[in-house]
Amino acid sequence: MMLRIRSRDGLERVKVENPNGTKVSELKTIIQKQLGIPTHNQTLSTNQNLLLAKSIEDLIRFNDMSNPNTPISALNLSHGSIVFLAYEGERRVPGPTAFSPAGSFGRKMTMDDLIAKQMRVSRQENPHCELVSFDRDCANAFQHYVNETLAFAVKRGGFMYGTVSEEGKVEVNFIYEPPQQGLEENLLFFRDPEEEKIVEAIAIGLGMRRVGFIFTQTVSQDKKDYTLSYREVLQAAEYHAESGLKEWVTAVVKLEVNEEMGGADVHFEAFQISDVCIRLFKEGWFVTEIKEDHDPKLSIMKKDVVVGVKDTKEVDNDFFLVVVKIADHQGPLSTAFPVENRNTQVTMKALKNHLERTKNLPFVKRISDFHLLLVLARVLDLASDVPALAECVQAQGAVPEGYQILIESMASAA
């Protein structure tokens, strides 16, 4: 089994030979052998907030992996899962490419060899995604919240779900908004693995999958001279790399102020992060600790790359962006139900109000809303009930009477 280890140095991988029998103490030993970090210096957690800890007192709070005898199988870790690592001290992180020295102690390097060993960064002309089409209601619900409630003062983001055609066309039919904190120039996702399992179960039942990452830029960012900031490139590359989907789309929503006309318009833009950027990210080339005086339109490398004819550690972010055409469509779902993880907690009272408001519609239409299904899925069986309901919605078929009675009783109890 392969586990991804996220630390202040970026994303690395370790190989676990016997995942079912491995304990936390043994995982620490594996990390020591493969990454060179002494076991006594390691603090591990499945909670990404570990990387924000500033003191020993902060670290102690992350105790889900503090018991050395806990089997990692009990932590819901599977192939590809991310474990967060904080450690004391310094270490040398190996570079992405190892060179054999030239001369009498190694093979003599030709000019072709030297060129082949260098990482070249150039613009990618064509995206793997031919077109991204947004469901009008879901796109409007997202932009309306950030415009009317947040006033584009802080960032907001989510994961886009939908379908990918054989021709590379992506259709976005709903947006899941994880627990998060939006700042003026930074967006922190506090990802909840249990909630994401429910989201994935609903998506599979609907015949959909995660297809991209969407986020907003704030009004203050509109005054900056970049398309995406370095933080945004890193975050977009992380989620793209995690997905393994070559058609993965990164969408940006921004408010563009027209000073001459005295108004402002909401704009959607779509990109793919280039293949070379994803490779650089996976191989750990990016400097991930961003200094306060850093120019946000530049990406910083740990070692020189070749841009044009120049060796440099600084790359204009635009080199990593591939523009994707945008369209819209009317998808199969509605977006009338309150959205999760916003300022107001969604309760069963919202379900009651929604069912009363839509009582003249067929029952399957009344529940054809991802955000409503997410509320129901928190109390239904994830293995059987959630897929069955989602499949009814996908097929727009009759909802079994037992589910109707159960859902209505849940609403009436509010």
What does the pLDDT look like over 158-177, one tens digit per residue?
999 999 999 999 999 999 99
Domain span including residue 392? 348-413
Task: Examine residue 73 and state whether it is found in any structural domain, yes or no.
Answer: yes
**Given pLDDT bands bounded at 50, 70 and 90, which one contains residue 104?**
very low
Residue of 300, 307, 296 whose CA lies nearest to 285? 300
41-77 pLDDT per residue, tens? 899 999 888 877 777 888 888 999 999 999 998 998 8
- 398 and 304 in a common domain: no
- 285 and 246 in a common domain: yes
- 140 and 34 in a common domain: no
Task: Please report the beta strands in 126-281, taking only residues with DSSP state E, as ranges in sequence order.
Answer: 131-135, 157-164, 169-176, 180-182, 187-189, 209-216, 249-258, 263-273
- 324 and 356 in a common domain: no
More confident residue, 344 or 260: 344
**Separation between Cα atoms, residue 173 and residue 243, nearest integer Å:** 18
Task: Examine residue 101 and state whether it is found in any structural domain, yes or no.
Answer: no
Q: Is the pLDDT of residue 100 over 50?
A: no
The alpha-carbon radius of gyration of the chain (Å, integer) is: 24
Per-residue pLDDT, averaged over 264-280, amounts to 94
Query: What's the chain's average pLDDT?
Result: 89
Q: What pLDDT is attached to residue 94?
A: 55
Task: Examine residue 364 and state whether it is found in any structural domain, yes or no.
Answer: yes
Partners of 327 in the beta sheet? 133
- 366 and 303 in a common domain: no
Count the domains in the chain. Answer: 3
Q: What pLDDT is attached to residue 261?
A: 67
Residue of 391, 332, 76 whose CA lies nearest to 204? 391
Task: Give me the CATH number covering residue 25.
Answer: 3.10.20.90
Instruction: Tell which of 301, 329, 357 closes a domain.
Output: 329
- 231 and 166 in a common domain: yes
Whole-model pTM? 0.72
Task: Examine residue 304 and state whether it is found in any structural domain, yes or no.
Answer: yes
Residue of 278, 335, 347 whose CA lies nearest to 160? 335
Instruction: Tell which of 296, 329, 362 closes a domain.
Output: 329
Q: What pLDDT is attached to residue 111?
A: 55
- 381 and 246 in a common domain: no
Task: Give me the CATH number covering residue 265.
Answer: 3.40.140.10
CA atoms within 13 A on the CB side of 306: 9
Q: What pLDDT is attached to residue 199?
A: 97
Q: Is the pLDDT of residue 106 over 50?
A: no
Q: What pLDDT is attached to residue 260?
A: 67
Q: What pLDDT is attached to residue 108?
A: 58
How many whole angstroms from its chain centre is CA 327?
22
More confident residue, 413 or 140: 140
Task: Examine residue 110 and state whether it is found in any structural domain, yes or no.
Answer: no
Three-state secondary-structure class, residue 131 = strand
- 235 and 145 in a common domain: yes
- 221 and 359 in a common domain: no
- 398 and 321 in a common domain: no
Q: Is the pLDDT of residue 150 over 70?
A: yes
- 179 and 296 in a common domain: yes
- 310 and 220 in a common domain: yes
Task: Examine residue 6 and state whether it is found in any structural domain, yes or no.
Answer: yes
Instruction: Tell which of 87, 110, 128 closes a domain.
Output: 87
Name the least confident of 103-112, 257-266, 317-326.
103-112
